[in-house]
A = this chain, B = another copy of it.
Amino acid sequence: MSHTIEPIGTIHSCFKELFGIPRQPGLVTAARGWIEFYPPYNRAEAFNGLEDISHIWITFLFHKSLDNEMSLTVRPPRKEGKRMGVFATRAPNRPNQIGQSVVELERIEERDGKIALHIKGLDLVEGTPVIDIKPYLPYVDSIPEANGGFAHLAPQQRLLVRFSPTTEKQINSFEQRYPELRLLIHDMLQYDPRPVYLRKLTNKKRFGFFLYDLDVRVEMLNGDEAVVTDVIKVG
């Protein structure tokens, strides 16, 4: 029995590329975005009752993995090369390629009769297809005593993050448009967004990534300090 699903909307995210996206929702609280809904799902009546709800589940497609061959085992970043069963992980490359993320619902906007949901704590890239929205119900979904196995604890904060005086000024000039931009960059960098192989290249001291329409440049110092050297508008 196969089943066809159609996206009901799409994610607009501060993350324009996969590099630097937090591994789970909620880790980087300043990671903002909004959900655009396609007709007929963009009508206010479909969201009636959501105004009292603080967190929502986004069900989505791992669209960047759709062309990958499915494997029963994956190598999660935490296990540094060890293979785990795909169903013991949340790896994107998985059967049916459906993901779920819980995010904070910051604001419901209605513009020209169309609903947009503004969210934070996001871990999804621009253009992620949305297939469902559900309220987070703490009496059902919150199980603090659960054991999460090898990924039980939040990832470690690996890097000390500093901002050059120039970037402090640059960030100030962008913060009205992008609230908590400094915190966003800080929190992304503290988890060390570089892939494992890049971390090991000690001669490769500079890297960069895109956030919103900004190019963020970083220089590594002493192996565990990330200094933000430039935050420049592109395009």
Interface residues of chain A, those whose CB is within 8 Å of chain B, are 1-8, 24-27, 40-41, 43-55, 57, 59, 61, 63, 66, 72-73, 83-90, 94-98, 100, 102, 129, 131-154
Contacts and interface: CB of A to CB of B under 8 A. Distances in A.
B6 A5 contact: no
The interface residues of chain A, by DSSP majority, are classed as: mixed
Contact of A55 (B44, B96, B146): B146
Nearest to A27: B140
Copies of this polypeptide in the complex: 2
A5 B46 contact: no
A43 B72 CA distance: 8
A132 B94 contact: yes
A90 B137 contact: yes
B139 A52 contact: no
Nearest to A88: B49
A87 B46 contact: yes
Contact of A133 (B1, B45, B72, B87): B87
Contacts of A47: 85, 87-88
A95 B134 contact: no
Contacts of A2: 4-6
Given A2-B4, A88-B53, A95-B41, A138 B132 contact: no
Contact of A59 (B44, B98, B149): B98
A146 B142 contact: yes
Contact of A1 (B41, B129, B144): B129
A84 B149 contact: no
